Amino acid sequence: MRINPNNTIDNPPISFDLPAPAKLNLYLHITGRRPDGYHQLETLFQFLDYSDDITFELTHDGDIQLDQGTLDFPQEENLVYRAARLLAPYRSNSKQGVKLTLNKQLPAGGGLGGGSSDAATTLLGLNHLWRLQLSNDELAEIGLGLGADVPVFVHGKATFAQGVGEIFSPANPAENWYLIVQPNVHVSTAEIFTHPALPRNTPAAKTALNEWQQGRNDCEKLVCSLYPQVASALQWLLKYAPSRMTGTGACVFGCFSSAVEAEQALQVLPTEFRGFVAKGVNQSPLHQALKQLP
């Protein structure tokens, strides 16, 4: 815990860091479309031990401040800031404020859920900092408005999700090692979901498919045809391991049985791509870190 000279005996210093981990959609099936245009999905979420990092510092002026580093969109649009604003009305003392510092590692809009994860970490972190005592179910409901994946990050367990992502069943997929490759392209989720060529008729599973090999990503073929960089990243990765796209892209992941094998492939990654090695984990690193806080 860092000491802030502005703190007094009445205002104890509180400052801590929490991770905002990435997720993979180990598979993503589209089983239908609702009348409002939203798609019914079946997807297996697993977390990665690779994260953004958010620092929380208690202030006493009631303000919400955010340092978002080099992110180039307005601060008011940042999901960290928007999550903090949503929690502000729950404070019992309106003088409670926060200085948030976001250290971004995860590529924005890469299908790794970084924005949703940042929002979930902000909700859980501020619940702790401001002693709000909201339950995870309440935080998930507040967060759902910020992004479909926020509730999964709030609950923090690997999940088989159905509906538009709001129906959860526990899942326990193998905790493999992955090489995640990031093509230098941004894929718009809305563009993919509104495309006429997207397949939308995968039969719904009767029970959760617990392993990624049992499924596929229904967006992958379309994204590869629209974005040759994604196709080329996937083709390269398939030479080293069984591989697939996550979410609506653009990142692809290869599944390895050891960190060493994944690192060896990373060593020869073509310079046109970026990549990192991470372990799939069924308990969110965020929840592990929260348990360590006083």
Ligand X SMILES: C[C@@](CO)(OP(=O)(O)O)[C@H](O)COP(=O)(O)OP(=O)(O)OC[C@H]1O[C@@H](n2ccc(N)nc2=O)[C@H](O)[C@@H]1O
Residues identified as active-site: 23, 149
Q: Is 31 in the site for ligand X (CB under 6 A)?
A: no
Cα–Cα distances (Å) from 146 to 1, 11, 122, in that order, read 30, 32, 12
Look up tokens 């999700």; give the residue. Answer: 161
Contact residues for 202 (Cβ-Cβ < 8 A; gap 6+) = 29, 30, 31, 42, 218
Select 192 or 265, whichever has its Cβ closest to ligand X: 192
Q: Is 21 in the site for ligand X (CB under 6 A)?
A: no
Task: Among 90, 168, 193, 273, indicate the residue that binds ligand X (CB under 6 A).
Answer: 193
Contact residues for 290 (Cβ-Cβ < 8 A; gap 6+) = 18, 124, 128
Q: Is 121 in the site for ligand X (CB under 6 A)?
A: no
Determine the Cα–Cα distance for residues 148 and 92; give it in Å rounded to an integer: 28
Smallest CA-to-CA distance from 96 within 66, 140, 132 is with: 132
Interstrand relation of 97-103 and 15-33 (parallel, antiparallel or unpaired): unpaired
Residues 242-261 that bind ligand X (CB under 6 A): 247-248
Determine the Cα–Cα distance for residues 162 and 28; give it in Å rounded to an integer: 10
Binding stretches for ligand ADP (CB under 6 A):
73, 77-80, 108-116, 118, 189, 247
Determine the Cα–Cα distance for residues 292 and 294; give it in Å rounded to an integer: 7
Q: Site for ligand X (CB under 6 A): how many residues?
A: 18
Task: Among 9, 190, 197, 268, indicate the residue that binds ligand X (CB under 6 A).
Answer: 190
Task: Among 19, 97, 113, 275, indicate the residue that binds ligand X (CB under 6 A).
Answer: 113
108 binds, among ligand X, ligand ADP, none (CB under 5 to 8 A by kind): ligand ADP
Q: What is the dihedral of CA 75, 80, 84, 86, to 10 degrees?
A: 90
| Binding mask of the shown chain, residues 130 to 169, with x at each position contacting ligand X by CB under 6 A | -----------------xxx--------------xx----
Select 39 or 82, whichever has its Cβ closest to ligand X: 39
- Sort 41 into a burial class: Cβ within 10 Å, 0-12 / 13-18 / 19+: buried
- Part of the chain binding ligand X (CB under 6 A), chosen from 38-46, 137-145, 204-212, 234-242: 38-46
Q: Is 112 annotated as a binding residue?
A: yes
Select 82 or 155, whichever has its Cβ closest to ligand ADP: 82
- Part of the chain binding ligand X (CB under 6 A), chosen from 36-44, 61-69, 95-103, 125-133: 36-44
Determine the Cα–Cα distance for residues 192 and 178; give it in Å rounded to an integer: 25
Look up tokens 């619940």; give the residue. Answer: 127
Residue 222: helix, strand or coil by DSSP? helix
Cα–Cα distances (Å) from 257 to 38, 174, 176, 263, 266, in that order, read 36, 10, 6, 11, 14
51 binds, among ligand ADP, ligand X, none (CB under 5 to 8 A by kind): none
Select 149 or 240, whichever has its Cβ closest to ligand ADP: 149
- Part of the chain binding ligand X (CB under 6 A), chosen from 11-19, 34-42, 197-205, 256-264: 34-42
Residues 165-184 that bind ligand X (CB under 6 A): 165
Q: Is 117 annotated as a binding residue?
A: yes
Residue numbers at the binding site for ligand X (CB under 6 A): 25, 37-39, 41, 43, 111, 113, 147-149, 164-165, 189-190, 193, 247-248
